[in-house]
C-alpha cells in the first residue's frame, strides 16, 4: 500500500468517532481556579450581536442513546422552581448586556415543551423583558417532542414569533423507537407532526436517527420518506452513538451485527438531495437558507457571545467557555439541578475551559470546516494574523487524501470528507483537549 493510501485508511477506518457539536467538548471543562467574575468577563467581550440560549433540563423519560444534561421529571412544581431560578439568574446577568443586541434565541434541553404553556410563555417574558431580546429582530428556535407538542404550547410559540421548531422523531417504526427506550407510537409521531405543520412556522426541523437496533435500509428509507412527506424545511439525520454512560451500551449495538450507518447515510443523502434539500453538514439538510419574514440581525456562525441561561447551558466568550458541572446519571443531574435552584448568586464562572490562542484557532477551524460554508482562508488570516494552512498542517493532509478541496480561497470538505466529518472532527481535536476528555470522570 502506498503512503497516501495508508494515510487515507487511517483517517477512514472509523467514520463514527465523535460528534463535535462544540469545541472544546464539555468533558474537557474543569474547575476554574480561581473562579472568574462574570461581569468582568462579559465586559471585555466585544461582539456586536449575542446569542441567548436557555436550557430546560427535563424530559418525560431518558432515551437510550442520550448523554445530554437532562433529567426525567414531569412534575410541574419542579419545573416552576427551575424557571424561578432561571429568572433569578437572568436578572443578575441582564445589566451586563444592557444596550447590546441578541440576534438569536434558542430554547433547548431536554424537552422545553415539557413545561406547561404558561411556564413556556414565561421563558419568552424572561428573554424579552429581562434580557432585552427584540423578538422581531432575532431568529428564535425551540426544541420539542411528539408527546409534548400540544396546540396550547404551539400557540405560545407562534405568538412569541418562533421561527424554527425542531421535533425529535428519530424513527417512525415502533420497534426501532422502543429499542432506544422511546416508547413512541408511530401514530403519535405522525399526529404531532401534522399538528406542528398546521401552525405554519417559517421552519420546521425533523430529527431522525440511523443505525438504530433492528433498523434496515428499507425501514430507514420508510422513516425518511415519512418525514419528507410532511414537507419540513429541514431534516437532521444523526448516526446513532452509544457510550458507556448511555442506557444503550455499545455492546448491545455491536451484537446486532455489522455497522450499516455509512450505507444508511449515503442512501439518505441521495434521497434528500433528490427531494430538494441542500446538504449543509453531515447532519443538516435544508431547503431554507435565511428568513424573509423578519429582518434578523446578523450573527456569527462561530457562536461566540453565547449567553447560556439555566443549568447545563454553556456560555461562550471568545476566550472562556463555561457552564455548570455536567453529569448524565440521574443522581448527578438531580443534584446539579438542585444546587442551581438553591443558588442565590450566579455571578462567577467556576467550571469551564480557558481557550489559548491556539485553541481559539482550532475552534474557528472546526466550526468552519465541518459545514458547507467551509474555511475562508483570508477571513482566518484577518482574524488571527496567521495562515490556517501553516497553523494546521492536517489541512494539507485533508487535501492530499481527497477529503477536502480548495477553491477560490475556501477550503471545503468533499462529499467523501463530509461523510467522514465525525472522523475528521475527531482527528482535529488538540492533544490537550483530548487528554482532558479522556481523563474526564463522568458522574
Ligand atoms: S434525546 Fe432528547 S428527548 Fe431523549 S432524553 Fe435526550 S434530551 Fe430528552
Cα 225 from chain centre: 24
Give the 3-state secondary structure of residue 324: coil
How many angstroms separate the alpha carbon of residue 66 from the centre of ligand 1? Answer: 6
202 touches 138 (CB < 8 A): no
Distance, in Å, from the CA atom of 397 to the CA atom of 404, rounded to the nearest integer, reads 9
Ordered per-residue pLDDT tens for the chain, 443 residues: 678 888 888 888 888 988 888 899 999 999 999 999 999 999 988 777 899 999 999 999 888 888 888 999 999 999 999 999 999 999 999 999 998 999 999 999 999 999 999 999 999 999 999 999 999 999 999 999 999 999 999 999 999 999 999 999 999 999 998 887 777 789 999 999 999 999 999 999 999 999 998 999 999 999 999 999 999 999 999 999 887 777 777 666 655 567 899 999 999 999 999 999 999 999 999 998 777 788 888 777 666 799 999 999 999 999 999 998 877 788 889 999 999 999 999 999 999 999 999 999 999 999 999 999 999 999 999 999 999 999 999 999 999 999 999 999 999 999 999 999 999 999 999 999 999 999 988 76
How many angstroms separate the alpha carbon of residue 42 from the centre of ligand 1? Answer: 31
Q: Which residues of 372-388 are buried (b: 16+ CB within 10 A; e: fewer)?
A: eebbbbeebbeebeeeb
- Return the CATH fold of 356-430: Arc Repressor Mutant, subunit A (1.10.10)
110 lines ligand 1 (CB under 6 A): yes
Start-end of CATH 3.20.20.70 domains in the chain: 35-286
Start-end of CATH 1.10.10.920 domains in the chain: 356-430
> 234-239 and 58-59 as β-strands: parallel, antiparallel, unpaired?
unpaired
168 lines ligand 1 (CB under 6 A): yes
Residue of minimum CA distance from atom 2 in ligand 1: 110
Residue of minimum CA distance from atom 1 in ligand 1: 66
Is CATH 3.40.50.720 what the domain over 35-286 is classified as, yes or no? no
286 lines ligand 1 (CB under 6 A): no
How many angstroms separate the alpha carbon of residue 209 from the centre of ligand 1? Answer: 12
Unique residue bearing C-alpha cell 415502533: 174
Give the 3-state secondary structure of residue 60: coil
Closest CA to 108 of 54, 169, 160: 54
Residue of minimum CA distance from atom 6 in ligand 1: 66
Distance, in Å, from the CA atom of 71 to the CA atom of 60, rounded to the nearest integer, reads 8
57 lines ligand 1 (CB under 6 A): no
Amino acid at each position: 500500500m502506498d503512503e497516501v493510501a495508508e494515510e487515507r485508511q487511517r483517517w477512514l477506518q472509523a467514520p463514527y468517532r465523535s460528534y463535535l457539536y462544540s469545541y472544546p467538548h464539555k468533558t474537557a471543562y474543569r474547575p476554574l481556579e480561581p473562579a472568574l467574575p462574570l461581569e468582568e468577563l462579559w465586559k471585555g467581550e466585544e461582539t456586536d450581536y449575542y446569542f441567548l440560549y436557555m436550557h430546560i433540563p427535563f424530559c418525560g423519560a431518558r432515551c437510550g442513546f442520550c448523554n445530554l444534561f437532562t433529567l426525567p421529571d414531569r412534575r410541574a412544581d419542579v419545573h416552576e422552581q427551575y424557571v424561578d431560578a432561571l429568572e433569578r439568574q437572568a436578572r443578575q446577568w441582564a445589566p451586563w448586556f444592557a444596550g447590546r443586541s441578541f440576534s438569536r434565541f434558542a430554547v433547548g434541553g431536554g424537552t422545553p415543551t415539557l413545561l406547561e404553556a404558561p411556564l413556556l410563555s414565561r421563558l419568552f417574558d424572561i428573554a424579552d423583558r429581562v434580557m432585552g431580546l427584540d423578538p422581531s429582530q432575532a431568529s428564535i428556535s425551540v426544541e420539542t417532542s411528539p408527546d409534548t407538542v400540544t396546540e396550547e404550547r404551539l400557540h405560545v410559540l407562534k405568538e412569541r414569533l418562533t421561527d424554527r421548531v425542531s421535533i425529535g422523531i428519530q424513527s417512525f417504526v415502533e420497534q426501532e423507537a422502543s429499542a432506544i427506550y422511546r416508547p413512541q407510537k408511530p401514530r403519535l409521531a405522525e399526529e404531532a407532526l401534522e399538528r406542528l405543520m398546521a401552525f405554519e412556522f417559517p421552519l420546521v426541523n425533523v430529527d431522525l436517527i440511523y443505525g438504530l437496533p433492528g433498523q434496515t435500509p428499507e425501514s430507514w428509507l420508510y422513516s425518511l420518506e415519512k418525514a419528507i412527506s410532511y414537507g419540513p424545511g429541514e431534516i437532521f439525520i444523526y448516526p446513532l452513538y452509544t457510550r458507556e454512560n448511555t442506557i444503550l451500551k455499545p455492546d448491545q449495538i455491536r451484537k446486532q451485527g455489522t455497522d450499516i450507518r455509512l450505507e444508511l447515510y449515503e442512501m439518505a443523502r441521495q434521497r434528500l438531495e433528490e427531494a430538494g434539500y441542500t446538504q449543509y453538514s453531515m447532519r443538516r439538510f435544508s431547503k431554507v437558507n435565511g428568513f424573509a419574514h423578519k429582518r434578523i440581525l446578523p450573527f456569527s456562525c462561530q457562536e461566540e457571545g453565547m449567553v447560556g441561561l439555566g443549568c447545563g447551558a454553556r456560555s461562550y466568550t471568545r476566550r472562556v467557555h463555561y457552564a455548570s458541572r455536567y453529569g448524565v446519571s440521574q443522581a448527578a443531574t438531580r443534584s446539579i439541578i438542585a444546587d442551581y435552584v438553591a443558588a442565590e448568586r450566579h455571578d462567577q464562572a467556576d467550571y469551564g475551559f480557558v481557550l489559548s490562542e491556539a485553541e481559539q484557532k482550532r475552534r474557528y477551524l472546526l466550526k468552519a470546516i465541518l459545514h458547507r460554508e467551509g474555511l475562508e482562508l483570508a477571513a482566518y488570516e484577518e482574524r488571527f494574523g496567521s495562515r490556517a494552512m501553516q497553523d494546521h498542517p492536517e489541512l494539507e493532509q485533508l487535501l492530499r487524501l481527497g477529503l477536502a478541496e480548495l477553491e477560490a480561497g475556501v477550503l471545503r470538505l468533499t462529499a467523501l470528507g463530509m461523510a467522514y466529518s465525525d472522523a475528521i472532527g475527531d482527528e482535529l481535536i488538540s492533544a490537550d483537549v483530548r487528554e482532558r476528555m479522556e481523563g474526564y470522570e463522568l458522574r
